[in-house]
A and B are shown apart, each in its own frame.
Chain A
Amino acid sequence: MTATENRVKDLPIILPEPSEATSGEQVEQATEEWVEKFRGYYDQWGTLLQQNLDRLSRGSYSLHWLDTEHTHWGTRVQPSSRGLTAADIDRPKVYGTLPEHTEWRNFAPRGSARDLYKDAMPVIEGYDVLDKSHLWADNVNTLYEEAKVRQWNSTTDIPWSELEPVSEELEKAACQLSTFLTEVEFVAGDFPSRWVWRTAPDFFEVNNFLTTQMVDEARHMEVFRKRAMAGAGGLMHPSPAFEWALKAILESPTHSQGTFLLNVLGEGLVLSIFRAGEFLSKTHVDKEIFRLCMQDEARHVSYGTLEFKAYLDAAADRERALADMHRFADIGEQTILTALSEPALLESVAVLMGGSVAEIDEGMEGVGFLWSTIVEEYLQRCDRAGFSRRDRCTIPLEFPWAA
Protein backbone atom coordinates (compact mmCIF):
# COMPACT_ATOMS: atom_id res chain seq x y z
CA MET A 1 0.00 0.00 0.00
CA THR A 2 1.44 3.38 -0.94
CA ALA A 3 1.78 6.28 1.42
CA THR A 4 -0.97 8.14 -0.38
CA GLU A 5 -3.26 5.16 -0.20
CA ASN A 6 -2.64 4.86 3.49
CA ARG A 7 -3.39 8.52 3.90
CA VAL A 8 -6.70 8.13 2.13
CA LYS A 9 -7.68 5.05 4.06
CA ASP A 10 -6.94 6.85 7.30
CA LEU A 11 -8.98 9.93 6.50
CA PRO A 12 -11.58 10.42 9.18
CA ILE A 13 -15.14 10.20 8.12
CA ILE A 14 -16.76 13.43 9.23
CA LEU A 15 -20.49 13.22 9.14
CA PRO A 16 -22.83 16.13 9.68
CA GLU A 17 -24.75 16.15 12.90
CA PRO A 18 -28.23 14.89 12.24
CA SER A 19 -30.77 17.64 12.53
CA GLU A 20 -34.49 17.77 12.65
CA ALA A 21 -34.54 19.78 9.46
CA THR A 22 -32.98 16.97 7.45
CA SER A 23 -33.19 13.29 7.76
CA GLY A 24 -30.00 12.62 9.68
CA GLU A 25 -30.02 8.93 8.91
CA GLN A 26 -30.40 9.56 5.21
CA VAL A 27 -27.49 12.00 5.17
CA GLU A 28 -25.36 9.59 7.16
CA GLN A 29 -26.15 6.70 4.85
CA ALA A 30 -25.64 8.76 1.69
CA THR A 31 -22.33 10.04 2.94
CA GLU A 32 -21.17 6.54 3.79
CA GLU A 33 -22.16 5.32 0.34
CA TRP A 34 -20.32 8.19 -1.33
CA VAL A 35 -17.17 7.58 0.71
CA GLU A 36 -17.22 3.86 -0.05
CA LYS A 37 -17.85 4.51 -3.72
CA PHE A 38 -14.88 6.81 -4.11
CA ARG A 39 -12.67 4.59 -2.00
CA GLY A 40 -13.64 1.89 -4.43
CA TYR A 41 -12.37 3.98 -7.32
CA TYR A 42 -9.10 4.57 -5.55
CA ASP A 43 -7.08 2.35 -7.87
CA GLN A 44 -7.93 4.77 -10.64
CA TRP A 45 -7.73 8.22 -9.13
CA GLY A 46 -5.23 7.28 -6.47
CA THR A 47 -2.74 6.31 -9.14
CA LEU A 48 -3.04 9.76 -10.68
CA LEU A 49 -2.70 11.37 -7.29
CA GLN A 50 0.41 9.35 -6.48
CA GLN A 51 2.02 10.20 -9.80
CA ASN A 52 1.35 13.89 -9.31
CA LEU A 53 2.64 13.99 -5.77
CA ASP A 54 5.72 12.00 -6.72
CA ARG A 55 6.47 14.42 -9.53
CA LEU A 56 6.06 17.42 -7.27
CA SER A 57 8.29 15.85 -4.62
CA ARG A 58 11.00 15.28 -7.23
CA GLY A 59 10.78 18.88 -8.38
CA SER A 60 10.02 17.55 -11.82
CA TYR A 61 7.76 18.73 -14.64
CA SER A 62 5.49 16.84 -16.97
CA LEU A 63 4.96 19.36 -19.77
CA HIS A 64 3.01 16.72 -21.68
CA TRP A 65 0.35 19.33 -22.30
CA LEU A 66 2.73 21.14 -24.65
CA ASP A 67 2.49 18.22 -27.08
CA THR A 68 0.04 19.11 -29.85
CA GLU A 69 0.32 15.89 -31.85
CA HIS A 70 -3.13 14.65 -30.94
CA THR A 71 -4.81 18.04 -30.92
CA HIS A 72 -6.10 20.25 -33.70
CA TRP A 73 -3.52 22.89 -32.92
CA GLY A 74 -3.46 25.67 -35.48
CA THR A 75 -7.13 25.55 -36.36
CA ARG A 76 -8.24 29.14 -36.23
CA VAL A 77 -11.89 30.00 -35.91
CA GLN A 78 -12.97 33.25 -37.48
CA PRO A 79 -15.51 35.60 -35.99
CA SER A 80 -18.42 36.57 -38.16
CA SER A 81 -19.97 40.03 -38.33
CA ARG A 82 -21.74 39.43 -35.03
CA GLY A 83 -18.60 38.37 -33.13
CA LEU A 84 -17.39 34.85 -32.44
CA THR A 85 -20.64 32.93 -32.33
CA ALA A 86 -21.54 29.38 -31.36
CA ALA A 87 -21.97 28.60 -35.04
CA ASP A 88 -18.53 30.06 -35.83
CA ILE A 89 -16.74 27.73 -33.43
CA ASP A 90 -18.62 24.76 -34.83
CA ARG A 91 -17.50 25.60 -38.36
CA PRO A 92 -14.18 23.68 -38.31
CA LYS A 93 -15.19 20.04 -38.68
CA VAL A 94 -12.62 18.90 -36.15
CA TYR A 95 -14.48 20.81 -33.47
CA GLY A 96 -17.96 21.13 -34.85
CA THR A 97 -18.81 17.59 -35.84
CA LEU A 98 -21.21 16.12 -33.35
CA PRO A 99 -21.21 12.35 -32.94
CA GLU A 100 -24.43 10.53 -33.71
CA HIS A 101 -23.72 8.54 -30.56
CA THR A 102 -21.16 9.24 -27.88
CA GLU A 103 -19.50 7.07 -25.31
CA TRP A 104 -17.79 10.02 -23.69
CA ARG A 105 -19.58 10.10 -20.38
CA ASN A 106 -17.30 12.63 -18.78
CA PHE A 107 -16.34 16.26 -19.18
CA ALA A 108 -13.43 15.92 -21.64
CA PRO A 109 -14.15 18.58 -24.27
CA ARG A 110 -15.08 17.44 -27.75
CA GLY A 111 -12.13 18.28 -29.96
CA SER A 112 -9.48 18.00 -27.25
CA ALA A 113 -6.73 15.37 -27.10
CA ARG A 114 -8.99 13.21 -25.01
CA ASP A 115 -8.35 9.88 -26.70
CA LEU A 116 -5.00 9.72 -24.92
CA TYR A 117 -6.72 9.65 -21.57
CA LYS A 118 -9.72 7.52 -22.32
CA ASP A 119 -8.83 4.68 -19.99
CA ALA A 120 -8.10 6.95 -17.05
CA MET A 121 -11.33 8.90 -17.27
CA PRO A 122 -14.20 8.39 -14.86
CA VAL A 123 -17.65 7.50 -16.11
CA ILE A 124 -20.46 9.80 -15.04
CA GLU A 125 -23.30 7.33 -14.77
CA GLY A 126 -25.84 10.14 -14.79
CA TYR A 127 -25.03 10.92 -18.41
CA ASP A 128 -27.33 8.51 -20.16
CA VAL A 129 -28.61 10.60 -23.07
CA LEU A 130 -25.96 9.67 -25.57
CA ASP A 131 -27.66 10.01 -28.96
CA LYS A 132 -27.72 13.19 -30.98
CA SER A 133 -31.12 12.30 -32.40
CA HIS A 134 -32.77 12.85 -29.02
CA LEU A 135 -31.47 16.38 -28.68
CA TRP A 136 -30.25 18.12 -31.76
CA ALA A 137 -32.01 20.77 -33.78
CA ASP A 138 -30.42 22.53 -36.73
CA ASN A 139 -31.34 25.94 -35.31
CA VAL A 140 -29.97 25.36 -31.81
CA ASN A 141 -26.83 27.49 -32.19
CA THR A 142 -28.79 30.33 -33.77
CA LEU A 143 -31.38 30.23 -31.02
CA TYR A 144 -28.70 30.13 -28.34
CA GLU A 145 -27.09 33.30 -29.69
CA GLU A 146 -30.50 34.89 -30.03
CA ALA A 147 -31.40 33.99 -26.46
CA LYS A 148 -28.23 35.55 -25.12
CA VAL A 149 -28.80 38.90 -26.77
CA ARG A 150 -32.53 39.08 -26.12
CA GLN A 151 -32.49 38.62 -22.37
CA TRP A 152 -34.46 41.08 -20.31
CA ASN A 153 -35.01 41.80 -16.68
CA SER A 154 -38.46 41.74 -15.16
CA THR A 155 -37.25 44.00 -12.39
CA THR A 156 -36.20 46.92 -14.57
CA ASP A 157 -37.48 46.40 -18.12
CA ILE A 158 -41.17 46.47 -17.26
CA PRO A 159 -42.57 49.95 -16.60
CA TRP A 160 -44.23 48.84 -13.36
CA SER A 161 -44.92 52.41 -12.29
CA GLU A 162 -47.23 52.78 -15.29
CA LEU A 163 -49.56 50.01 -14.15
CA GLU A 164 -52.95 51.62 -14.22
CA PRO A 165 -55.87 50.50 -12.12
CA VAL A 166 -58.65 48.66 -13.91
CA SER A 167 -61.97 47.36 -12.69
CA GLU A 168 -61.84 44.71 -9.98
CA GLU A 169 -63.24 42.13 -12.39
CA LEU A 170 -60.55 42.80 -14.94
CA GLU A 171 -57.86 42.79 -12.27
CA LYS A 172 -59.13 39.45 -11.00
CA ALA A 173 -59.01 38.07 -14.53
CA ALA A 174 -55.48 39.41 -15.06
CA CYS A 175 -54.40 37.91 -11.75
CA GLN A 176 -56.00 34.55 -12.55
CA LEU A 177 -54.23 34.46 -15.91
CA SER A 178 -50.99 35.41 -14.17
CA THR A 179 -51.50 32.62 -11.65
CA PHE A 180 -51.99 30.12 -14.47
CA LEU A 181 -48.88 31.35 -16.23
CA THR A 182 -46.83 31.25 -13.03
CA GLU A 183 -47.93 27.65 -12.59
CA VAL A 184 -47.10 26.52 -16.11
CA GLU A 185 -43.78 28.33 -16.31
CA PHE A 186 -42.45 26.22 -13.46
CA VAL A 187 -42.64 23.08 -15.56
CA ALA A 188 -41.25 24.77 -18.64
CA GLY A 189 -38.09 25.41 -16.68
CA ASP A 190 -38.04 22.14 -14.81
CA PHE A 191 -38.42 19.95 -17.88
CA PRO A 192 -35.14 21.00 -19.54
CA SER A 193 -33.39 20.89 -16.18
CA ARG A 194 -34.45 17.28 -15.87
CA TRP A 195 -32.58 16.47 -19.07
CA VAL A 196 -29.61 18.81 -19.05
CA TRP A 197 -27.85 16.90 -16.31
CA ARG A 198 -28.42 13.61 -18.15
CA THR A 199 -27.06 14.87 -21.46
CA ALA A 200 -23.49 13.95 -22.33
CA PRO A 201 -21.28 17.05 -22.65
CA ASP A 202 -20.52 16.17 -26.27
CA PHE A 203 -23.89 17.82 -26.93
CA PHE A 204 -23.05 20.97 -25.06
CA GLU A 205 -24.65 23.17 -27.73
CA VAL A 206 -28.04 21.76 -26.80
CA ASN A 207 -27.37 22.07 -23.10
CA ASN A 208 -26.33 25.67 -23.57
CA PHE A 209 -29.60 26.46 -25.31
CA LEU A 210 -31.66 24.55 -22.75
CA THR A 211 -30.07 26.54 -19.95
CA THR A 212 -31.26 29.73 -21.66
CA GLN A 213 -34.73 28.21 -21.74
CA MET A 214 -34.47 27.56 -18.02
CA VAL A 215 -33.48 31.20 -17.43
CA ASP A 216 -36.31 32.39 -19.69
CA GLU A 217 -38.87 30.33 -17.83
CA ALA A 218 -37.57 31.44 -14.45
CA ARG A 219 -38.04 35.02 -15.63
CA HIS A 220 -41.57 34.27 -16.86
CA MET A 221 -42.50 32.67 -13.58
CA GLU A 222 -41.06 35.70 -11.83
CA VAL A 223 -42.78 38.32 -13.99
CA PHE A 224 -46.24 36.77 -13.74
CA ARG A 225 -45.90 36.30 -10.01
CA LYS A 226 -44.97 39.98 -9.83
CA ARG A 227 -47.84 40.96 -12.11
CA ALA A 228 -50.34 39.19 -9.91
CA MET A 229 -49.18 41.24 -6.95
CA ALA A 230 -48.36 44.56 -8.61
CA GLY A 231 -51.96 45.60 -9.16
CA ALA A 232 -52.97 45.03 -5.53
CA GLY A 233 -54.73 41.84 -6.54
CA GLY A 234 -52.77 38.68 -5.87
CA LEU A 235 -52.26 35.09 -6.81
CA MET A 236 -55.56 33.36 -7.46
CA HIS A 237 -56.54 29.75 -8.09
CA PRO A 238 -54.16 26.99 -9.14
CA SER A 239 -55.73 24.20 -11.11
CA PRO A 240 -55.57 20.41 -10.94
CA ALA A 241 -56.39 20.41 -14.67
CA PHE A 242 -53.17 22.28 -15.41
CA GLU A 243 -51.21 20.12 -13.04
CA TRP A 244 -52.02 16.87 -14.86
CA ALA A 245 -50.76 18.34 -18.12
CA LEU A 246 -47.62 19.55 -16.42
CA LYS A 247 -47.03 16.16 -14.86
CA ALA A 248 -47.42 14.49 -18.26
CA ILE A 249 -44.79 16.84 -19.69
CA LEU A 250 -42.33 16.49 -16.84
CA GLU A 251 -42.55 12.71 -16.78
CA SER A 252 -42.31 12.15 -20.53
CA PRO A 253 -40.26 9.04 -21.16
CA THR A 254 -37.74 10.57 -23.59
CA HIS A 255 -36.37 14.03 -24.21
CA SER A 256 -37.76 14.12 -27.73
CA GLN A 257 -41.22 13.12 -26.59
CA GLY A 258 -41.17 15.63 -23.77
CA THR A 259 -39.86 18.32 -26.10
CA PHE A 260 -42.74 17.60 -28.45
CA LEU A 261 -45.27 17.84 -25.66
CA LEU A 262 -43.70 20.87 -23.97
CA ASN A 263 -42.11 22.93 -26.72
CA VAL A 264 -44.31 22.13 -29.72
CA LEU A 265 -47.74 21.69 -28.13
CA GLY A 266 -47.57 23.22 -24.66
CA GLU A 267 -45.35 26.18 -25.43
CA GLY A 268 -47.14 26.68 -28.74
CA LEU A 269 -50.32 27.03 -26.70
CA VAL A 270 -48.67 29.42 -24.27
CA LEU A 271 -47.16 31.40 -27.15
CA SER A 272 -50.68 31.98 -28.47
CA ILE A 273 -51.82 32.99 -25.00
CA PHE A 274 -48.94 35.46 -24.81
CA ARG A 275 -49.98 36.86 -28.17
CA ALA A 276 -53.53 37.10 -26.93
CA GLY A 277 -52.27 38.69 -23.72
CA GLU A 278 -50.58 41.43 -25.70
CA PHE A 279 -53.74 41.70 -27.81
CA LEU A 280 -56.09 42.18 -24.89
CA SER A 281 -53.84 44.06 -22.48
CA LYS A 282 -55.52 46.94 -20.74
CA THR A 283 -52.24 48.63 -19.81
CA HIS A 284 -48.86 49.21 -21.43
CA VAL A 285 -47.34 47.27 -18.56
CA ASP A 286 -49.21 44.11 -19.47
CA LYS A 287 -48.49 44.67 -23.15
CA GLU A 288 -44.76 44.85 -22.50
CA ILE A 289 -44.80 41.75 -20.31
CA PHE A 290 -46.64 39.66 -22.87
CA ARG A 291 -44.60 40.93 -25.82
CA LEU A 292 -41.30 40.11 -24.15
CA CYS A 293 -42.49 36.70 -22.99
CA MET A 294 -43.83 35.99 -26.46
CA GLN A 295 -40.37 36.46 -27.94
CA ASP A 296 -38.79 34.02 -25.50
CA GLU A 297 -41.51 31.46 -25.95
CA ALA A 298 -41.19 31.54 -29.72
CA ARG A 299 -37.54 30.48 -29.43
CA HIS A 300 -38.56 27.46 -27.41
CA VAL A 301 -41.22 26.54 -29.93
CA SER A 302 -38.73 26.88 -32.79
CA TYR A 303 -36.26 24.60 -31.04
CA GLY A 304 -38.97 22.08 -30.25
CA THR A 305 -40.24 21.93 -33.81
CA LEU A 306 -36.86 21.33 -35.40
CA GLU A 307 -35.68 19.00 -32.60
CA PHE A 308 -38.74 16.89 -33.20
CA LYS A 309 -38.09 16.92 -36.94
CA ALA A 310 -34.46 15.91 -36.42
CA TYR A 311 -35.54 13.07 -34.15
CA LEU A 312 -37.92 11.68 -36.77
CA ASP A 313 -35.46 12.21 -39.62
CA ALA A 314 -32.75 10.30 -37.77
CA ALA A 315 -34.93 7.39 -36.73
CA ALA A 316 -33.60 4.07 -38.01
CA ASP A 317 -37.15 2.85 -38.30
CA ARG A 318 -39.18 5.93 -39.10
CA GLU A 319 -42.52 4.15 -39.27
CA ARG A 320 -42.03 2.75 -35.81
CA ALA A 321 -40.88 6.12 -34.47
CA LEU A 322 -43.96 7.74 -35.95
CA ALA A 323 -46.23 5.07 -34.49
CA ASP A 324 -44.69 5.55 -31.04
CA MET A 325 -45.06 9.30 -31.31
CA HIS A 326 -48.69 9.06 -32.41
CA ARG A 327 -49.40 6.80 -29.46
CA PHE A 328 -47.68 9.29 -27.19
CA ALA A 329 -49.46 12.25 -28.77
CA ASP A 330 -52.89 10.61 -28.46
CA ILE A 331 -52.66 10.85 -24.68
CA GLY A 332 -50.39 13.89 -24.60
CA GLU A 333 -52.90 15.99 -26.51
CA GLN A 334 -55.63 14.95 -24.12
CA THR A 335 -53.61 16.05 -21.11
CA ILE A 336 -52.97 19.43 -22.75
CA LEU A 337 -56.67 19.63 -23.63
CA THR A 338 -57.40 19.06 -19.96
CA ALA A 339 -55.44 22.23 -19.21
CA LEU A 340 -56.73 24.17 -22.20
CA SER A 341 -60.34 23.55 -21.26
CA GLU A 342 -59.86 24.68 -17.64
CA PRO A 343 -62.35 27.41 -16.73
CA ALA A 344 -59.79 29.35 -14.71
CA LEU A 345 -57.93 29.86 -17.98
CA LEU A 346 -60.69 30.16 -20.58
CA GLU A 347 -63.01 32.29 -18.48
CA SER A 348 -60.36 34.71 -17.28
CA VAL A 349 -59.20 35.22 -20.86
CA ALA A 350 -62.82 35.63 -21.97
CA VAL A 351 -63.44 38.31 -19.34
CA LEU A 352 -60.32 40.17 -20.43
CA MET A 353 -61.45 39.91 -24.05
CA GLY A 354 -65.04 40.89 -23.32
CA GLY A 355 -64.15 43.66 -20.88
CA SER A 356 -66.22 42.47 -17.93
CA VAL A 357 -67.93 39.42 -16.48
CA ALA A 358 -71.19 40.66 -17.96
CA GLU A 359 -69.62 40.52 -21.40
CA ILE A 360 -68.05 37.12 -21.00
CA ASP A 361 -70.10 35.70 -23.88
CA GLU A 362 -68.52 38.16 -26.29
CA GLY A 363 -65.16 37.27 -24.85
CA MET A 364 -65.79 33.58 -25.44
CA GLU A 365 -66.08 34.32 -29.15
CA GLY A 366 -62.55 35.66 -29.00
CA VAL A 367 -61.46 32.62 -27.05
CA GLY A 368 -62.92 30.50 -29.82
CA PHE A 369 -60.74 32.26 -32.34
CA LEU A 370 -57.73 31.80 -30.07
CA TRP A 371 -58.52 28.09 -29.71
CA SER A 372 -58.59 27.63 -33.48
CA THR A 373 -55.30 29.51 -33.81
CA ILE A 374 -53.64 27.35 -31.16
CA VAL A 375 -54.74 24.10 -32.80
CA GLU A 376 -53.97 25.22 -36.35
CA GLU A 377 -50.49 26.47 -35.48
CA TYR A 378 -49.84 23.22 -33.60
CA LEU A 379 -50.84 21.22 -36.66
CA GLN A 380 -48.67 23.42 -38.88
CA ARG A 381 -45.66 22.78 -36.66
CA CYS A 382 -46.37 19.05 -36.66
CA ASP A 383 -46.52 19.14 -40.46
CA ARG A 384 -43.19 20.98 -40.52
CA ALA A 385 -41.65 18.26 -38.39
CA GLY A 386 -42.98 15.55 -40.69
CA PHE A 387 -45.62 14.38 -38.24
CA SER A 388 -49.08 14.84 -39.61
CA ARG A 389 -51.71 14.95 -36.90
CA ARG A 390 -54.42 16.48 -39.05
CA ASP A 391 -56.40 13.25 -39.28
CA ARG A 392 -55.64 12.14 -35.78
CA CYS A 393 -55.54 15.21 -33.55
CA THR A 394 -57.55 14.56 -30.40
CA ILE A 395 -57.97 18.23 -29.59
CA PRO A 396 -61.14 19.64 -31.18
CA LEU A 397 -60.24 21.88 -34.09
CA GLU A 398 -63.12 24.17 -33.22
CA PHE A 399 -63.83 25.56 -29.79
CA PRO A 400 -66.33 23.17 -28.17
CA TRP A 401 -68.47 25.97 -26.79
CA ALA A 402 -72.22 26.01 -27.06
CA ALA A 403 -73.04 29.70 -27.06
Chain B
Amino acid sequence: MMGPVADPITPSDAAPAPVARVAFPSVQWFEALGQRMHDQRDHFAKIGDMDCTMQLTLYDASPAGQPWRCQVEFEGTDVVDVREVGEGDEERADFVIETDLDTWREMVDNIVANGGRPDLDHTLNRLSLPGVPIRLWGVDPVRRDAYYRFNQSLQHYVNNAAAFGTRWPGDADEAPLPAPDGPAARA
Protein backbone atom coordinates (compact mmCIF):
# COMPACT_ATOMS: atom_id res chain seq x y z
CA MET B 1 0.00 0.00 0.00
CA MET B 2 1.24 3.41 -0.83
CA GLY B 3 1.82 5.91 1.89
CA PRO B 4 0.01 9.18 2.24
CA VAL B 5 0.24 11.35 -0.77
CA ALA B 6 1.08 14.99 -0.36
CA ASP B 7 -1.28 17.57 -1.71
CA PRO B 8 -0.45 18.61 -5.23
CA ILE B 9 1.88 21.51 -5.45
CA THR B 10 -0.02 24.54 -6.52
CA PRO B 11 1.49 27.77 -7.68
CA SER B 12 0.76 29.33 -4.29
CA ASP B 13 2.60 26.51 -2.53
CA ALA B 14 5.60 26.55 -4.76
CA ALA B 15 8.49 28.85 -4.03
CA PRO B 16 8.12 31.84 -6.30
CA ALA B 17 10.52 31.64 -9.17
CA PRO B 18 12.50 34.73 -9.99
CA VAL B 19 11.30 36.45 -13.13
CA ALA B 20 13.85 36.90 -15.84
CA ARG B 21 13.88 40.13 -17.74
CA VAL B 22 13.14 39.80 -21.41
CA ALA B 23 14.81 42.10 -23.83
CA PHE B 24 12.75 44.54 -25.84
CA PRO B 25 12.39 44.81 -28.75
CA SER B 26 12.63 41.13 -29.54
CA VAL B 27 10.64 38.24 -30.84
CA GLN B 28 11.14 36.65 -27.42
CA TRP B 29 9.33 39.51 -25.70
CA PHE B 30 6.17 38.92 -27.72
CA GLU B 31 6.54 35.18 -27.29
CA ALA B 32 6.69 35.73 -23.54
CA LEU B 33 3.38 37.58 -23.73
CA GLY B 34 2.07 34.66 -25.77
CA GLN B 35 3.20 32.18 -23.15
CA ARG B 36 1.25 34.11 -20.49
CA MET B 37 -1.72 34.10 -22.83
CA HIS B 38 -1.44 30.35 -23.20
CA ASP B 39 -1.22 29.96 -19.44
CA GLN B 40 -4.43 31.96 -19.09
CA ARG B 41 -6.32 30.04 -21.71
CA ASP B 42 -9.54 29.99 -19.69
CA HIS B 43 -9.51 33.75 -19.35
CA PHE B 44 -8.75 34.38 -23.01
CA ALA B 45 -11.36 31.82 -24.05
CA LYS B 46 -13.93 33.64 -21.95
CA ILE B 47 -13.30 36.95 -23.66
CA GLY B 48 -13.26 35.18 -27.02
CA ASP B 49 -11.04 33.62 -29.63
CA MET B 50 -8.85 35.97 -31.60
CA ASP B 51 -7.74 35.25 -35.13
CA CYS B 52 -5.57 37.93 -36.63
CA THR B 53 -2.03 39.01 -37.31
CA MET B 54 -0.75 42.20 -35.75
CA GLN B 55 2.34 44.06 -36.86
CA LEU B 56 4.14 46.39 -34.53
CA THR B 57 6.51 48.82 -36.19
CA LEU B 58 8.80 50.84 -33.96
CA TYR B 59 10.27 53.67 -35.96
CA ASP B 60 13.51 53.87 -34.03
CA ALA B 61 14.07 50.62 -32.16
CA SER B 62 16.65 48.74 -34.16
CA PRO B 63 20.20 48.92 -32.84
CA ALA B 64 20.99 51.39 -35.57
CA GLY B 65 17.99 53.52 -34.74
CA GLN B 66 16.13 52.23 -37.75
CA PRO B 67 12.60 50.77 -37.79
CA TRP B 68 12.06 47.43 -36.10
CA ARG B 69 9.10 45.35 -37.25
CA CYS B 70 7.50 42.31 -35.74
CA GLN B 71 4.36 40.35 -36.58
CA VAL B 72 2.38 38.40 -34.00
CA GLU B 73 -0.05 35.80 -35.29
CA PHE B 74 -2.95 34.94 -32.99
CA GLU B 75 -5.11 31.87 -33.38
CA GLY B 76 -7.86 31.19 -30.88
CA THR B 77 -6.37 31.69 -27.45
CA ASP B 78 -2.76 31.30 -28.51
CA VAL B 79 0.06 33.08 -30.23
CA VAL B 80 1.10 30.68 -32.96
CA ASP B 81 3.90 32.66 -34.53
CA VAL B 82 6.06 35.67 -33.84
CA ARG B 83 8.42 36.82 -36.53
CA GLU B 84 10.62 39.78 -37.20
CA VAL B 85 9.76 41.14 -40.62
CA GLY B 86 11.08 43.67 -43.02
CA GLU B 87 9.74 46.65 -44.85
CA GLY B 88 7.01 45.65 -47.29
CA ASP B 89 5.72 42.70 -45.31
CA GLU B 90 2.65 44.60 -44.13
CA GLU B 91 0.39 42.62 -46.49
CA ARG B 92 0.81 39.65 -44.19
CA ALA B 93 -0.61 41.57 -41.25
CA ASP B 94 -4.25 42.42 -40.73
CA PHE B 95 -3.27 45.70 -39.17
CA VAL B 96 -0.14 47.62 -38.32
CA ILE B 97 0.42 49.73 -35.24
CA GLU B 98 3.33 52.10 -35.53
CA THR B 99 4.98 54.18 -32.88
CA ASP B 100 8.34 54.99 -31.39
CA LEU B 101 10.19 53.15 -28.67
CA ASP B 102 9.56 55.81 -26.02
CA THR B 103 5.79 55.60 -26.50
CA TRP B 104 5.78 51.83 -26.31
CA ARG B 105 7.97 51.91 -23.23
CA GLU B 106 5.77 54.48 -21.52
CA MET B 107 2.73 52.31 -22.22
CA VAL B 108 4.38 49.16 -20.87
CA ASP B 109 5.75 50.99 -17.83
CA ASN B 110 2.27 52.26 -17.12
CA ILE B 111 0.80 48.77 -17.38
CA VAL B 112 3.46 47.47 -15.01
CA ALA B 113 3.02 50.35 -12.58
CA ASN B 114 -0.71 49.70 -12.44
CA GLY B 115 -0.42 45.98 -11.84
CA GLY B 116 -1.46 44.86 -15.30
CA ARG B 117 -4.16 47.39 -16.07
CA PRO B 118 -3.10 50.63 -17.71
CA ASP B 119 -4.55 53.88 -16.53
CA LEU B 120 -7.16 55.62 -18.64
CA ASP B 121 -4.56 57.32 -20.84
CA HIS B 122 -2.43 54.31 -21.75
CA THR B 123 -4.73 51.78 -23.41
CA LEU B 124 -4.01 50.77 -26.99
CA ASN B 125 -7.15 52.43 -28.28
CA ARG B 126 -6.55 55.59 -26.28
CA LEU B 127 -3.09 55.95 -27.73
CA SER B 128 -4.06 55.10 -31.30
CA LEU B 129 -7.37 56.88 -31.91
CA PRO B 130 -5.90 60.28 -32.69
CA GLY B 131 -3.27 58.76 -34.98
CA VAL B 132 -0.57 59.87 -32.56
CA PRO B 133 1.43 58.67 -30.71
CA ILE B 134 0.36 55.29 -32.15
CA ARG B 135 -0.73 55.10 -35.76
CA LEU B 136 -3.08 52.32 -36.80
CA TRP B 137 -3.42 51.32 -40.41
CA GLY B 138 -3.86 48.33 -42.69
CA VAL B 139 -3.71 47.55 -46.36
CA ASP B 140 -7.35 46.45 -46.29
CA PRO B 141 -9.93 48.29 -44.17
CA VAL B 142 -11.88 45.09 -43.52
CA ARG B 143 -8.79 43.33 -42.22
CA ARG B 144 -7.73 46.50 -40.39
CA ASP B 145 -11.02 46.35 -38.49
CA ALA B 146 -9.69 43.23 -36.72
CA TYR B 147 -7.94 45.69 -34.41
CA TYR B 148 -11.37 46.85 -33.28
CA ARG B 149 -12.97 43.39 -33.32
CA PHE B 150 -10.34 41.92 -30.99
CA ASN B 151 -9.36 44.99 -29.04
CA GLN B 152 -10.08 43.59 -25.59
CA SER B 153 -8.00 40.48 -26.25
CA LEU B 154 -5.17 42.57 -27.69
CA GLN B 155 -5.22 44.82 -24.65
CA HIS B 156 -5.13 41.87 -22.27
CA TYR B 157 -2.34 40.30 -24.29
CA VAL B 158 -0.22 43.44 -23.88
CA ASN B 159 -1.24 43.77 -20.24
CA ASN B 160 0.67 40.57 -19.57
CA ALA B 161 3.84 42.63 -19.82
CA ALA B 162 3.27 43.19 -16.10
CA ALA B 163 3.99 39.52 -15.49
CA PHE B 164 7.69 39.72 -16.37
CA GLY B 165 10.41 42.25 -16.49
CA THR B 166 11.47 44.08 -19.61
CA ARG B 167 15.05 44.92 -20.39
CA TRP B 168 14.98 48.04 -22.51
CA PRO B 169 17.71 49.14 -24.88
CA GLY B 170 20.48 50.68 -22.84
CA ASP B 171 19.57 48.80 -19.68
CA ALA B 172 22.47 46.90 -18.18
CA ASP B 173 22.17 43.15 -17.86
CA GLU B 174 21.10 42.69 -14.30
CA ALA B 175 19.67 40.21 -11.89
CA PRO B 176 16.21 38.87 -12.53
CA LEU B 177 13.26 40.58 -10.94
CA PRO B 178 11.78 39.06 -7.81
CA ALA B 179 8.67 36.98 -8.38
CA PRO B 180 5.46 38.97 -8.54
CA ASP B 181 3.01 38.73 -5.66
CA GLY B 182 0.17 37.39 -7.74
CA PRO B 183 -1.46 37.36 -11.12
CA ALA B 184 -1.59 40.64 -12.85
CA ALA B 185 -4.84 42.50 -12.66
CA ARG B 186 -6.72 42.98 -15.88
CA ALA B 187 -7.75 46.06 -17.75
Besides A151-B48, A281-B120, A295-B48, 11 new A-B residue pairs in contact (Cβ under 8 A), listed by A number: A81-B76, A146-B49, A275-B148, A278-B125, A282-B120, A291-B125, A295-B149, A302-B149, A366-B130, A380-B141, A383-B141
The segment from B15-23, B102-110, B150-158 that touches chain A is B150-158
Q: Complex Cα distance A322/B24, Å?
A: 50
Q: What are the 7 tightest A-B residue pairs by CB atom distance, in nearest-first order?
A: A150-B48, A298-B148, A298-B149, A380-B141, A279-B129, A149-B48, A278-B125
Known contacts A291-B125, A305-B142, A377-B141; is-contact A299 B120 (Cβ 8 Å) = no
The A276-332 residues at the B interface (CB cut-off 8 A) are: 276, 278-279, 281-284, 287, 291-292, 294-295, 297-299, 301-302, 305-306
What size tier do the contact residues of chain A reach?
Answer: 35 or more
How many cross-chain pairs have Cβ atoms below 8 Å apart between A and B? 82
- The yes or no answer to B145 lying at the interface (CB within 8 A) is yes
Contacting B76 at CB < 8 Å: which of A82, A294, A298? A82
A–B complex contacts, Cβ < 8 Å, 29 sampled:
A82-B76, A145-B49, A146-B48, A149-B49, A150-B47, A150-B48, A150-B149, A151-B48, A275-B125, A278-B126, A279-B126, A282-B120, A284-B187, A287-B120, A287-B123, A291-B155, A294-B151, A295-B48, A295-B149, A295-B152, A298-B146, A299-B149, A302-B142, A305-B141, A306-B142, A369-B130, A373-B129, A377-B141, A383-B141
Please report the C-alpha to C-alpha distance between residue A384 and residue B141 in the assembled complex, in whole angstroms: 7
Residue of A nearest to B78 (CB): A81
- Residue ID in chain B nearest A379 by CB atoms: B141
Task: Give the B-binding residues of A (Cβ under 8 A).
Answer: 81-82, 139, 142, 145-146, 149-152, 271, 275-276, 278-279, 281-284, 287, 291-292, 294-295, 297-299, 301-302, 305-306, 366, 369, 373, 377, 380-381, 383-384
Q: Point out which of B45, B117, B123, B129 has the most chain A C-beta atoms below 10 A from its C-beta.
A: B129
C-alpha spacing A299/B140, complex, angstroms: 15
How many chain B residues touch A (CB < 8 A): the figure is 27
- Complex CA gap A297/B145 in Å reads 10
Q: Which residues of B contact A82 (CB under 8 A)?
A: 49, 76
Complex-state Cα separation, A216 to B120, whole angstroms? 25
**Across the interface, which residues of A come within 8 angstroms of B75, CB to CB?**
81
B129-A276 in contact (CB<8A): yes
Which residues of chain A have C-beta atoms less than 8 A from B45's C-beta? 149
Residues of chain B lying within 8 A (CB to CB) of residue A281? 120
